[in-house]
């Protein structure tokens, strides 16, 4: 497992991060989730990402239980705040000082740790002054409850404003967590250049496009049993209608010979492609089975040269989405 610095900081993280969105507390049973976490540890993954909203706080609890007994100093644990949790009352959402302060305490308790390495704003909150949000984050850092601050799916202007406030408050905004993969490239034109200028890394989610880039979904064929597209607990909603059309699947199939020439699985090729962007610090991968973790980790350290990257672009043509306006947060809080 190789490691990369997170933003303009001295913190190193594994370039493959284990994430438990849509899996822990939902798609897989707790004992399987624990086996997946242990497989990640055995494979050299030291970085784990979750959020309070995943399975309405249960995912944090499952991850915390799975990591019990591990040396805390050898891990990097990330979580997030913004979306509604608990009973989802009028203050159980957003980035107000009240919700942030209450949420960090809940997350630490569920994760079984005194601090998280990175605390992230899961979306931008248009209903709370950014100054209030950043002051709350600064107070959490000074209290030792978080070491660094990050955000998720913020656009370039929002990153710039938050970075300015963080610098004035004496804290480090080191990361953004966007969706990014061969088919979804909306961060490339604005978010990535701005992030490079400001010393912010990308922590990429959905590097295999909810499984579409693994090649297991075929045009004109039903989704494989047990795949995310058949998961009625949330996974199906995230993939159906976005990627599972015959045109997309036919185009994705053109990547198969490229992966085969490199001796890689389709998933490994997709993860290696994401990591070829030098602004990406790590790619988030989830798993419903331990062997998925072991396979995905093999993408660490794979270098794709310019010829391969060109072949991928040629194969995909104009299929990838690139419009930067697709980087956006809800205009109102979701309650």
pLDDT band, very low/low/confident/very high, at 216 (cuts 50, 70, 90): confident
Q: How do 47-49 and 76-81 pair as beta strands?
A: parallel
With residue 5 as reference, give the H or E element that holds it.
strand 3-5
Residue 133 and residue 100: Cα distance in Å, rounded? Answer: 8
Q: Please pick, among 54, 119, 180, 243, the residue that the annotation labels catalytic.
A: 54
pTM to 2 decimals? 0.92
pLDDT band, very low/low/confident/very high, at 244 (cuts 50, 70, 90): confident
Give strand pairing partners of 2: none
Q: What is the pLDDT of residue 236?
A: 54
3-state SS class at 256: helix
Residue 12 and residue 309: Cα distance in Å, rounded? Answer: 26
pLDDT tens track for 248-271: 999 999 999 999 999 999 999 999
Q: Is 303 part of a structural domain of the chain? A: yes
Q: Is 333 part of a structural domain of the chain? A: no
115 given a catalytic annotation: no
Q: What is the pLDDT of residue 237?
A: 59
Q: Is 137 part of a structural domain of the chain? A: yes
Comparing CA positions, the residue from 203, 162, 179, 196 lying closest to residue 8 is 196
Residue 75 and residue 164: Cα distance in Å, rounded? Answer: 29
Q: What is the pLDDT of residue 238?
A: 56
- Calculate what percentage of the chain has a pLDDT beyond 90: 84
pLDDT surpassing 90 at residue 226: no
Q: Is 157:329 a contact under the CB 8 Å cutoff?
A: no
Q: Is 332 part of a structural domain of the chain? A: no
Domain coverage including residue 232:
3-326
* Apex 279 CA angle, 155 and 18, nearest 5: 90
pLDDT tens track for 281-322: 999 999 888 999 999 999 999 999 999 999 999 999 999 999
Where residue 94 sits, what CATH number does that domain have?
3.20.20.100
pLDDT band, very low/low/confident/very high, at 37 (cuts 50, 70, 90): very high
CA distances to 41, 55, 65, 253 from 303, rounded to whole Å, are 23, 35, 35, 21
- Within a 10 A sphere around the Cβ of 101, how many other Cβ atoms? 15
pLDDT tens track for 96-130: 999 999 999 999 999 999 999 999 999 999 999 99
Q: Is 274:204 a contact under the CB 8 Å cutoff?
A: yes
Q: Is 331 part of a structural domain of the chain? A: no
Tally the domains of the chain. Answer: 1
pLDDT surpassing 70 at residue 165: yes
Q: Is 56 part of a structural domain of the chain? A: yes
Which region holds residue 296: left if phi is over 0, alpha if psi is between -120 and 50, else beta? alpha
Report which of residues 226 and 311 the model is more confident about. 311
Sign of CA dihedral 69, 21, 95, 168: positive
Residue 177 and residue 122: Cα distance in Å, rounded? Answer: 8
Q: Is 335 part of a structural domain of the chain? A: no
Report which of residues 20 and 149 the model is more confident about. 149
* Apex 22 CA angle, 18 and 23, nearest 5: 65
Please compute the mean of the pLDDT values over residues 4-16 and round it to a whole number.
Answer: 98
Q: Is 276 part of a structural domain of the chain? A: yes
3-state SS class at 297: helix
Please compute the mean of the pLDDT values over residues 147-168 and round it to a whole number.
Answer: 98
């Amino acid at each position: 497992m190789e490691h990369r610095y997170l933003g303009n900081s001295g913190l190193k993280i594994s370039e493959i991060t284990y994430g438990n969105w849509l899996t822990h507390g939902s798609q897989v049973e707790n004992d399987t989730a624990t086996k997946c976490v242990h497989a990640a540890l055995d494979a050299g993954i030291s970085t784990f990402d979750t959020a309070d909203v995943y399975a309405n706080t249960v995912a944090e609890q499952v991850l915390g239980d799975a990591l019990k007994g591990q040396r805390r100093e050898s891990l990097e644990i990330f979580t997030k705040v913004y979306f509604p949790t608990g009973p989802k009352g009028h203050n159980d959402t957003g980035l107000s000082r009240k919700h942030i302060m209450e949420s960090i305490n809940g997350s630490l308790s569920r994760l079984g740790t005194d601090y998280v390495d990175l605390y992230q704003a899961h979306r931008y909150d248009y209903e709370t002054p950014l100054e209030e949000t950043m002051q709350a984050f600064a107070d959490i850092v000074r209290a030792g409850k978080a070491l660094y601050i990050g955000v998720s799916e913020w656009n370039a202007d929002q990153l710039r404003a938050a970075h300015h406030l963080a610098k004035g408050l004496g804290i480090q905004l080191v990361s953004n967590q966007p969706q990014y993969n061969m088919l979804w490239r909306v961060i490339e034109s604005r978010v990535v250049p701005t992030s490079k200028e400001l010393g912010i890394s990308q922590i990429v989610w959905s590097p295999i496009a909810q499984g579409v880039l693994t090649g297991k979904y075929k045009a004109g064929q039903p989704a494989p049993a047990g795949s995310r597209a058949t998961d009625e607990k949330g996974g199906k909603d995230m993939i159906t209608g976005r990627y599972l059309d015959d045109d997309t699947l036919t185009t994705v199939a053109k990547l198969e010979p490229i992966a085969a020439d490199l001796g890689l699985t389709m998933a490994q090729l997709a993860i290696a492609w994401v990591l070829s962007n030098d602004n990406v610090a790590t790619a988030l991968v989830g798993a419903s089975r331990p062997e998925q973790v072991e396979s995905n980790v093999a993408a660490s350290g794979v270098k794709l040269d310019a010829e391969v990257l060109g072949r991928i672009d040629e194969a995909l043509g104009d299929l990838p989405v690139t419009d930067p306006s697709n980087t956006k947060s809800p205009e109102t809080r979701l309650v």
